[in-house]
Chain A
Amino acid sequence: MPTEALPYTCTFCGCLCDDLEIRAEGGRVVEAVGACGRERPYLIGIETTPGPPPPCRLDGVETTAEEAVRAAARILADAKAPLVVGLGRATNEAARQAIALADRIGAAIEVGDAASAWPRVVAMQRSGSIGATLGEVKARADVVVFWGCDPATTHPRHFERYSRVGRDGRRAIVLDAGETATSRLADAFLAVDPERELDLLLTLRALVREVPLDPHRVEAATGHGLAALQDLAETLQGARYGAWFMGASAGRGSIELAEARRQAVTALVRDLARKTRFVSIGLGEAGNAHGVEGVLAWQTGFTPGADLGAGFPESWPGESSASDRLARGLFDAALVVGGPAPAIPVGKPWIFLGDADDEASARATAALPAGAPGIDDSGTFTRVDGVSLPVRALRPSRTPGAAEWLARLNEALGGATS
């Protein structure tokens, strides 16, 4: 396997570290040089020689690949209101095929668990976004803010590779509901009541814009004295290059306010950018949701979901989405790419494309086994900052990859796509 010579890309968290060195002996991974404490135990011991290929299944019963593809294609061809969901860990290459298929059958398609992606994208549609690749933060930032997130726990190598907390004299500030592993390593910590996150963001913005504020009202709204927030605003404005990191929902408050928080962060960063350089970046989530979102956007113009049912792409955030239709049973067939698969009502045919050991393989009407990217499959993932990186298999694949299964389905549905 070429993996011995080439660096290994870890897909365990949003860091997407692409510098691991995998060592194998006796058919197993024995060392993962550079891996963090979370990833290492997962990698060590993985078999590097493939076992026998897992079977395709129809209603849980083993069958041939040809039969399974034919049956799956029939389900999709017969559907009037199909859904294509999952895809949160699919490669960009598989995404291209999945969207082609959705276009062909007129499906509503959505990437991964889009509950936090919709507010992020809609906020971007309203206000834009101001970001950078992580190397810019690594090279330039002197102030790094962690807003309602704890990378020391969830993204163990973030400090080392990107945010460089504790190095180069940079100042790290944590704003969160309570003390965390990250806050204990930071230079400053400010407790933020999750219910008041939005108020705090808006107050900070007012301070950066030098709007006169009533100290009592500030305290009532944020739980903090004006002086403390003024200090914080001074620190932010005093940065030469500031970086504001946040998790998937831009804080720990309710998901209903995630879009408002996103917009408030972008507005704050935009105001800061009038005085100095400042960017905001997500920590990133495990898998490849950002990559698949990007492919969906380039092929349809919309993301993280698009409805192709009318014969052209449509997107109506908040009104209709594939996950919403899934939850309400408003579909007649589904293709689920990768686990965990949602509950599907009895009587609605569906196809599962993913790990043969996933419980969904036994549950689905048709199950096509595909190995996981980074273990059995190779392709491209895109980091939260838009940097696309190769993801390489650890071992020869026992099955076709998801991209190839999807290409076969497309072919079975009526020829090549163009």
Chain B
Amino acid sequence: MSTLLIRGGRIVDPANDVDSEGDVWIRDGRVVPAPADPDARADRTIDARGYVVMPGGVDVHSHIAGSKVNAARIMRPEERRGDARAMRRWRDFRSGTIGSVPSSFSTGYLYGGLGYTTAVDAAIPPLGARAAHAEFGDVPLVDKAMLVLMGNNHLVMEAVKSKDRAAVERTVAWLLDSARGFGVKAVNPGGVEQWKQGGARIAGWDDRVDGFDVSPREIVVALAEAVDALGLPHPLHFHGLNLGIAGNWEATLEGMKALQGRRVHMAHIQFHSYGGSPDAPADFSSQVGPLAEFVNAHAGISVDVGQVMFGDTTSMTADGPTGHYLANLTGRKWYNHDVEQEDGCGVSPIEYQDRNFVHAIQWAVGLEWFLRVDDPWRVALSTDHPNGASFRTYPDVIALLMDRNLRDETLARLPEKARERTGLKDLAREYTLSEIAIVTRAGPARILGLAHKGHLGPGADGDVTIYAPDDDRRRMFALPRWVVKGGEVVVDDGELRAAPIGRTLFAEVDVDPAARAALSARLGEAASFHPTNFGLGLEDLSEPLGVRTGARP
């Protein structure tokens, strides 16, 4: 029994409606009620008087493992050469390199260093799960989970075509269980398969996917229904059509409408909120207004932003046609990898420049999303790491949200035409500390359906971040004074003290043995591997922790 007392800090715990001074007790890795004995002492006490105490950060949408991430590392040595872009070996901690896609141990240390203790990789194809789980085992300090790609899955599309809801459910459950995933992701549903076939582009909700005779609308509705029927903690995690393309906002709105009130999480919504048309790039503009209005009116919809920050980064997506489009647009090196049965990935370097008209609007579109969604519980902070920027820019994003002047200063140096194409300059809202706590931890935890994360009530994970208040918000959030993971102090005054590997969260779903056998046999006919080697066991996961399904919160 080891206990930690965090004494006298300003506890910002919006999930429990707390913003006041108090103590946090942690015993054996979990938050516990304060002992009845007023003289009770803890094994270790942190004097947090004068500090701000929040739950550990939770990232609902990031790319931290798997073949796309590793391809980006291999392809981009130019951004990881030299002392300043590396982490030195220190004590028993591992060395690594940074760039826009840090090596595995560095990813964990850097997330932990920002006070983040949970990160979800949002795009793992079922066949890539074995490798991604192995990589998770080398990402310390954060609890990990993966969302499994299913929007272009052959067996899912066959089930959708049959209009048999139970068949879709069985297929989703089997895929999720085989990959030991946490949630279900759909990326450009049907559109990636169509592109892989070399067919006409899927741009609308009722276009048909050749060979499967299903539409994006049918796929996404069927997946959302299956996710709910299975009682998964996290709703369908959805990357829509036409990512990054001028004029895509209408398809985004139509996609949300297609779900007819079913719960859904809209991923990196910033990239789906543009006016104009592909033929007239000069008409590019923000269309956050009508989209945010729709989100505000529909409680079942949450979003993460996918904020763009200016600088050099790497785009990576399971949306192969988008990856191809981007690489051709920039003319830079391009990694593409088609994965059988489901998606694949495209990776290419990209630099967001403040003098670039389109990039400037993208930056403003992201901020508009934060400021136009009324309910902060339904907007999660993300940069779609590393797509919009590295997660290392989160303190900069937080500073922009809390300070209108800072936004105006940046706006002032953007192209004038870009300033006029967004509504950002008229948005006076400034986030409070409590709202920051919501969009960086409490909200994402609730969106993920993780009852033990994102708050500091009894039973919560003993993951705590303690900040020194600072008018310079960027500095405040970049350098937490202490970070506690599972009741253990892991960062103390910017120094790494311990690096527990963290848990791998997965959804415990029941799969009917007959369905498993039938689906496995079907997979075996088409696959390049033995279907027995498709499904993963708990021994293939690092510190697995099952999350129960079936009872929706």
How far, in whole Å, are A125 and B80 apart by their CA atoms in the complex?
A: 12
Complex alpha-carbon distance, A338 and B197, angstroms: 42
B248 close to chain A: CB less than 8 A: no
- The residues in A between 303 and 329 inclusive whose CB is less than 8 angstroms from any CB of B are 303, 308, 310-315
Q: Is A94 an interface position by the 8 A CB rule?
A: no
Cβ–Cβ < 8 Å partners of B140 in chain A: 418
Contacts of B165 in A (CB 8 A): none
Contact A298 B88 (CB under 8 A): no
Q: How far is the CB of B192 from chain A (nearest CB, A)?
A: 12
Nearest CB in chain A: distance from B345 CB, A: 10
**Is the beta-carbon distance between A298 and B138 smaller than 8 angstroms?**
yes
Asked if A64 CB lies within 8 Å of chain B CBs, one says no
Q: Pick from A137, A138, A297, A314: contact of B74, CB below 8 A.
A: A297
| Contact of A312 with B74 at beta-carbon distance under 8 Å, contacts A19-B530, A139-B340, A389-B533 already known | no
Q: Please tell me which stretch of B37-45, B128-136, B256-264, B283-291 contacts chain A, meaning at least 4 of its Cβ atoms lie within 8 angstroms of it.
A: B128-136
Are B97 and A390 in contact, with the CB atoms below 8 A?
A: no
Chain B residues near A277 (CB, 8 Å)?
Answer: 196-198
Please tell me if the beta carbons of A388 and B134 are within 8 angstroms of each other in the complex: yes
Bound: A311/B90 CA distance, A? 8
Do A125 and B76 touch (CB < 8 A)? yes
Residues of A within 8 A of B67 (CB): 386
* CA distance in complex: A303, B138 (Å): 17
B74 touching A125 by the CB < 8 A rule? Answer: yes
What is the 8 Å Cβ interface bit string for chain A, positions 259-298, against chain B (1 contact, 0 not)? 0000000000010011011010000000000000011011
Judged by a CB distance under 8 angstroms, whether A203 is at the interface is no
Interface bits B280-320 vs A (CB < 8 Å: 1, else 0): 00000000000000000000000000000000000000000
A386-B131 CB under 8 A given contacts A134-B528, A140-B196, A417-B94: yes
Collect the chain B residues with CB atoms within 8 Å of residue A313's CB.
Answer: 80, 86, 95-97, 103
Task: Point out the residue from B83, B89, B97, B348 that lies within 8 Å of A301, measured CB to CB.
Answer: B97
A100 to B106, CA, bound (A): 13
Bound CA span A107–B78, Å? 22
Complex interface residues of chain A between 133 and 160 (CB less than 8 A to chain B): 133-140
Chain A, interface size: which category? 35 or more
Question: Chain B: how many interface residues by the 8 Å CB criterion?
Answer: 67
Q: Bits for A118-139, please: 1 = Cβ < 8 Å to B, else 0.
A: 0001001111111111111111
Instruction: Confirm or deny: B425 has a beta carbon within 8 angstroms of a beta carbon on chain A.
Output: no
A7 to chain B, nearest CB (A): 5
Q: Count of A-B contacts with CB under 8 A?
A: 193
Chain B residues with Cβ below 8 Å from A295 are 134
Instruction: Judge whether A103 and B95 touch: CB under 8 Å.
Output: yes
Please indicate the chain B residues that have their CB under 8 angstroms from the CB of A131 in the complex.
336-338
Is there a chain A Cβ closer than 8 Å to B77's Cβ?
yes
Question: Are B74 and A303 interface neighbours, CB within 8 A?
Answer: yes
Q: Are A300 and B96 in contact (CB under 8 A)?
A: yes
Give Cα distance in the complex from A287 to B253, angstroms: 50
Binds A, one of B327-335, B380-388, B429-437: B327-335
B526 CB, nearest partner CB in chain A, Å: 6
CB of B548 closer than 8 Å to a CB of A: no
Tell me the nearest residue of chain B to A382, going by C-beta.
B131
Q: Establish whether residues A311 and B334, one from each chain, have CB atoms under 8 Å apart when the complex forms.
A: no
Q: How far is the CA of A133 from the CA of B338 in the complex (A)?
A: 6
Assess whether B336 is in contact with A301, with CB atoms less than 8 Å apart. Answer: no
| Minimum distance in angstroms from B148 CB to a CB of chain A | 16
Residues of B within 8 Å of A139, CB to CB, are 340, 526
Within 8 A of B (CB), among A384-407: 385-390
CA distance A100 to B104 in the complex (A): 12
B505 at the interface (CB under 8 A from A): no
CA distance A390 to B131 in the complex (A): 11
Q: Which residues of B contact A96 (CB under 8 A)?
A: 134, 137-138
A331 CB-CB contact with B under 8 Å: no
Asked if B56 is an interface residue, CB under 8 A from chain A, the answer is no
For residue B471, CB closer than 8 A to chain A, the reply is no
A18 on the interface (CB 8 Å rule)?
yes
Asked if B520 lies at the interface with its beta carbon under 8 angstroms from chain A, I say no
Interface residue? B92 (CB, 8 A): yes
Chain B residues in 8 Å Cβ range of A137 = 528
B340, A294: Cβ atoms under 8 Å? no
A330 to B499, CA, bound (A): 34
The answer to the question of A416 belonging to the interface, with a C-beta cut-off of 8 Å to chain B, is: yes
CB nearest to A18 among chain B residues? B530
| With A96-B134, A308-B89 already in contact, 10 other A-B pairs whose C-beta atoms are closer than 8 Å | A128-B327, A132-B344, A135-B340, A136-B338, A137-B528, A277-B197, A299-B104, A301-B77, A312-B86, A313-B96
Question: Across chains A and B, which 10 residue pairs bring their CB atoms closest together, nearest first?
Answer: A135-B340, A301-B97, A135-B528, A312-B86, A132-B338, A128-B333, A418-B499, A134-B528, A301-B103, A128-B334
A sample of 21 inter-chain contacts (CB < 8 A) reads A18-B529, A104-B89, A128-B75, A129-B335, A130-B334, A133-B528, A135-B529, A139-B340, A139-B526, A240-B197, A241-B196, A273-B336, A277-B197, A298-B135, A299-B94, A301-B96, A312-B95, A313-B80, A386-B67, A416-B92, A418-B498
